[in-house]
Amino acid sequence: MTRQRTTMLLALAAGLFLLTGCDAIDKWRHPPPDIGFVAAGKGYAEKPDFAKVEHELPLKMEDLDRMTPRNLRNFSQEQLDQIYARLTAGPIPDGPFDGDLIFPKNEDNDRRLSEIVGGLPGVAVEVKLHRVEELGRALWKGKVFYRDQRLLRNRIEDIVLLKPIIDGELSTIEKIVVDGKDQWLLFPARLYCGQSLLDSRRESIIIDYFFSDELPGYREKPDFLAGRNGLKVRDEIRMIRPGFYLGRAYVNRVFLLNFFLYNEEIAKRDGEAFRKTGSVDEDCWPGTQQRAKLVAAN
């Protein structure tokens, strides 16, 4: 074996370790909490009924307390689906929320590549997906909710990556300062309560980009990318606990990825009252299935 070929194989092995090992290390450091789930197969007919999941394994207050922005990334997609289905929308948020992406994974913590990139197999797809994750995380830092106006804008930190497709001067883009860092506000969306594309038994908070070209602050480039002339993005979120939401992003009504939103100030301000009462203001229809009372044991 030539030295060049050996070097290439070592580089490939190192790359694969970086691609898969980081996820394994993160799961070891931040293991998902022990929450009850119903077994599910791969086919649609083998998926559990969400009403049955919630009836047999309702989420307890300690379950919600044990979920964090770090360990939420280490659930499989089936587990995230079952968690989401057992949540209610809670109040429509207000103000800036930090966020991160959670790409779908199977039970072995491997990404479900075929469901994301159209069935293309191979290492090259895995590399491309990681690049998509890195790009997404570099661009997107969270969202800003304008509750009274029922509007939302996305927080973009690294504007350099979008500069080639932005029209006009960068100085004309509205900004917000979060933790001492400037972040640009792009991709406006409408906020309302509506039917979940995963679980129709109760409403979710919908973040709808379809008619974004009619919203205040819209600029054709790059905002069209998320709207009706682009990817037709539609997000939906439900509350884990005050200040902490689990979200699902769809492109043209096809599920793409999960994300979470977190506001530490709201979590500290309203968290204790939620633990004591197990209740929160619901802006959206919570459905007819009665939930188990979420009161922490004394």
Give, for all 298 residues of the chain, the pLDDT tens digit.
555 545 444 444 443 334 334 455 566 576 888 999 999 988 888 899 999 999 999 999 999 999 999 999 999 999 999 999 999 999 999 999 999 999 887 655 445 444 544 444 444 444 454 555 555 666 788 999 999 999 999 998 877 777 787 887 888 889 998 888 888 999 999 999 999 999 999 999 999 999 999 999 899 988 998 999 988 999 999 999 999 999 999 989 999 899 999 999 999 999 999 999 999 999 999 998 877 767 554 4
Distance separating alpha carbons of residues 241 and 235, to the nearest angstrom:
19
Give Cα 286 to chain centroid, integer Å.
21
pLDDT at 122: 45
Residue 122: how many other CB atoms lie within 10 Å: 9
Answer whether 266's CB lies under 8 Å from 273's CB.
Answer: no
Angle at 59 between CA 55 and CA 61, to 5 degrees: 140
Q: What is the pLDDT of residue 22?
A: 47
Which H helix or E strand runs over 203?
A: strand 203-208
CA distance 284 to 204: 7
Coil/strand/helix, residue 77: helix
pLDDT, residue 186, reads 92
Q: What is the pLDDT of residue 289?
A: 87
- For the chain, the structural domain boundaries read 31-277
DSSP 166: -
Can you give the pLDDT at residue 73?
92
Provide φ and ψ at 163, rounded to 5°.
-55, -40
State how far the Cα of 217 lies from the Cα of 3, in Å rounded to an integer: 57
Q: For residue 57, what pLDDT is reported? A: 95
Output the pLDDT for position 23.
53
Query: Residue 199: what residue type?
Result: D
Look up the pTM and report it.
Answer: 0.84
